């Protein structure tokens, strides 16, 4: 467990306990949530002032409803530890700020730093306070009064004594220190008692919220598996708890989706269409060319390369040895030897000379196009009321699940006489809006232009520039105006796909409108099937030809 990196800010600047204790506290909590069975009781060594927190943490992190969502889910466990450490810091700061013993701690500090000369003049103020603050069983103040009075009554004599002996060695100094030590013990106990009570109360509120969030998280996982396991999904301690009606709405559409195989097929198709496409890019590149040539080298003696004059007897030509066979020519040999004039073989070899060059070329790069986001336009007009409305919402729920599972952003536009948008880029922060959409009643008129212009605007943003657009409607509407058609054609040329799902209501859709879209599917509520193009498109995907 990399405690230093993952919780570095808390370990370094936690403002609670000391640094080594903060580090051990993080390790302790991680073991509690990751491997609860491996941690023995009281394994974390703490002081009396820290024991209250550890007792509270032991109670919080032994609850089954919390461990059910953290064991095996380290990302969530880590988030809960961060939340808990933040709660501890804030709670400790609040306890310190409101601690009724703070004023008495300040008084204690003042008396501890007070010189004996000043004690002689003011000691009775302290003893009077202590008699009111503590019972005789807790602190026998009269004992100290009995011994202080004769010493401090004659101040002139006492001043002379401490001037001669020194304050530290005067007998009354031990009595003062004993009183301060007894007072400090009682004060710390009183402060700890207050802290323990406050910690217990805060623990009660925090644990109730934590357990409720754990239960809420379990419900969300059941409704939206498998993507709810991702970091940060639906876990936010700063947000209030969901209402049960929100879960009821999601549960309703989860159950409805189970009975809509064709809608699940459509969502799956949309998820795979972008995945099946490929991109071909032409790339110009440079590459190095290594050259190797040979040149003669006298350092290498591998072959005879000629004859030269020298005094090297090892390479002497046989003709030169004839001079040694006659006494008259023998002196001529020695002279040639001294003058380096003997004919000798010259041996040489070859050495490699390396060189570098470069050249350029072109090549094709084939990549699968990455999975892009979705923009969904839902017709919420009065003509969609009833079964079409139900189909549109179930379809949105199915596509949302697919998009979230594959980590694809989703932007929802509902339109009638007005326009409503939900940016599901961060799903966990948009669930309330989604529930509101699923709970709304469709009414009003139909105008395709506002939602399409909104979709075209989103296509120009960074997060949605490579999105696919899906419109769900009965397409009982007026035709598109030329400026809108022109903008759609421009986006189609860039590779954007515009899909349409027509919910059959008994009235024929406007064919001039649906023909603008790249794909045209029809849902028949009576047969619960999506016809027309779906089977063909699925086959294309399976064959990899889309």
Q: Are 503 and 395 spatial neighbours (Cβ–Cβ below 8 Å)?
A: no
> What does the alpha-carbon distance between residue 30 and residue 41 come to, in Å, rounded to a whole number?
15
- pLDDT of 338: 81
> What does the alpha-carbon distance between residue 127 and residue 140 come to, in Å, rounded to a whole number?
10
pLDDT tens string 326-374: 777 778 887 888 888 888 877 766 666 665 666 666 665 555 455 678 8
Q: Is the dihedral of CA 434, 409, 400, 380 positive or negative?
A: positive
Which structure tokens are listed for 25? 């506290």
CA 441 to chain centre: 38
Q: Which domains does the chain have, with CATH numbers?
A: 1-241 (no CATH), 263-275+370-543 (3.40.50.410), 281-365 (no CATH)
Low-confidence ranges of the chain (pLDDT < 50): 1, 42, 226-232, 276-278, 368, 535, 538-539, 541-546
- pLDDT of 182: 95
- pLDDT of 227: 43
- pLDDT of 346: 77
Which structure tokens are listed for 246? 């929100």
- pLDDT of 388: 84
> What does the alpha-carbon distance between residue 93 and residue 499 come to, in Å, rounded to a whole number?
56
Which DSSP symbol is given to 382? G
- Spatial strand order of the sheet with 519-524 comes to 419-423, 410-415, 374-379, 468-473, 498-503, 519-524, 529-532
Consecutive H or E run containing 144: helix 141-153
Q: What angle, 0 to 180 degrees and rounded to 10, lies between the N-to-C axes of helices 74-98 and 48-60?
A: 140
> What does the alpha-carbon distance between residue 278 and residue 219 come to, in Å, rounded to a whole number?
39
Contacts 24+ apart (CB under 8 A), 480-489: 480/448, 480/449, 480/452, 480/512, 480/513, 480/516, 481/449, 484/448, 484/449, 484/452, 484/453, 485/516, 487/453, 487/456, 488/452, 488/456, 488/516
- pLDDT of 291: 58
Report residue 523: phi and psi, to 5°.
-105, 125
How deeply is 267 buried, as exposed, middle or buried, from its count of CB atoms within 10 A (0-12, 13-18, 19+)? Answer: buried
> What does the alpha-carbon distance between residue 325 and residue 300 come to, in Å, rounded to a whole number?
34
- Spatial strand order of the sheet with 342-368 comes to 278-297, 342-368, 303-310
């Amino acid at each position: 467990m990399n405690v230093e990196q993952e919780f570095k800010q808390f370990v370094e600047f936690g403002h609670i306990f000391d640094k080594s204790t903060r580090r051990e506290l993080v390790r302790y909590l991680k073991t509690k949530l990751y491997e609860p069975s491996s941690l023995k009781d009281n394994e974390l060594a703490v002081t009396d002032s820290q024991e209250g927190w550890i007792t509270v943490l032991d109670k919080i992190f032994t609850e089954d409803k919390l461990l059910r969502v953290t064991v095996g889910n380290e990302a969530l466990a880590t988030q809960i530890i961060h939340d808990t450490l933040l709660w501890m810091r804030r709670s400790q700061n609040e306890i310190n700020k409101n601690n009724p013993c703070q004023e008495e701690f300040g008084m204690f500090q003042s008396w501890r730093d007070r010189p004996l000369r000043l004690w002689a003049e003011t000691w009775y103020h302290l003893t009077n306070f202590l008699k009111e603050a503590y019972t005789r069983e807790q602190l026998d103040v009269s004992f100290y009064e009995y011994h202080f009075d004769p010493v401090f009554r004659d101040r002139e004599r006492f001043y002379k004594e401490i001037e001669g002996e020194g304050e530290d060695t005067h007998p009354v100094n031990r009595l003062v220190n004993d009183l301060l030590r007894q007072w400090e013990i009682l004060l710390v106990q009183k402060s700890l008692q207050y802290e323990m009570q406050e910690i217990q109360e805060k623990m009660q509120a925090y644990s109730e919220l934590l357990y409720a969030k754990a239960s809420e998280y379990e419900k969300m996982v059941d409704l939206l598996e498998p993507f709810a396991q991702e970091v940060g999904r639906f876990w936010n301690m700063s947000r209030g708890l969901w209402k049960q009606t929100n879960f009821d709405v999601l549960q309703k559409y989860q159950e409805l989706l189970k009975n809509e195989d064709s809608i699940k097929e459509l969502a799956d198709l949309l998820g795979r269409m972008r995945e099946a496409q490929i991109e071909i890019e032409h790339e110009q590149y440079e590459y190095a060319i290594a050259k190797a040539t040979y040149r003669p080298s006298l350092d290498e003696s591998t072959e005879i390369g000629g004859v030269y004059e020298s005094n090297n007897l090892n390479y002497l030509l046989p003709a030169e040895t004839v001079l040694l066979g006659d006494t008259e020519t023998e002196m001529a040999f020695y002279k040639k030897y001294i003058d380096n004039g003997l004919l000798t073989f010259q041996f040489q070899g070859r050495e490699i000379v390396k060189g570098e060059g470069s050249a350029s070329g072109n090549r094709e790069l084939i990549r699968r196009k990455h999975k892009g986001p979705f923009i969904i336009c839902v017709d919420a007009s009065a003509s969609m009321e009833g079964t079409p409305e139900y189909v549109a919402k179930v379809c949105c729920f199915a596509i949302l699940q697919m998009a979230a599972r594959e980590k694809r952003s989703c932007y929802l536009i509902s339109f009638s006489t007005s326009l409503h948008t939900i940016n599901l880029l961060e799903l966990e922060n948009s669930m309330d809006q989604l529930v509101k959409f699923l709970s709304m009643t469709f009414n009003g008129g139909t105008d395709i232009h506002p939602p399409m212009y909104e979709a075209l605007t989103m296509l120009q943003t960074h997060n949605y520039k490579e999105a696919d657009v899906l419109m769900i409607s009965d397409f009982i509407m007026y035709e598109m105006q030329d400026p809108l058609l022109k903008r759609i054609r421009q986006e189609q040329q860039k590779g954007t796909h515009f899909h349409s799902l027509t919910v059959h209501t008994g009235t024929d859709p406007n064919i001039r409108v649906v023909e603008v879209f790249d794909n045209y599917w029809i849902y028949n509520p009576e047969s619960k099937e999506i016809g027309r193009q779906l089977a063909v498109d699925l086959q294309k995907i399976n064959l990899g030809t889309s």
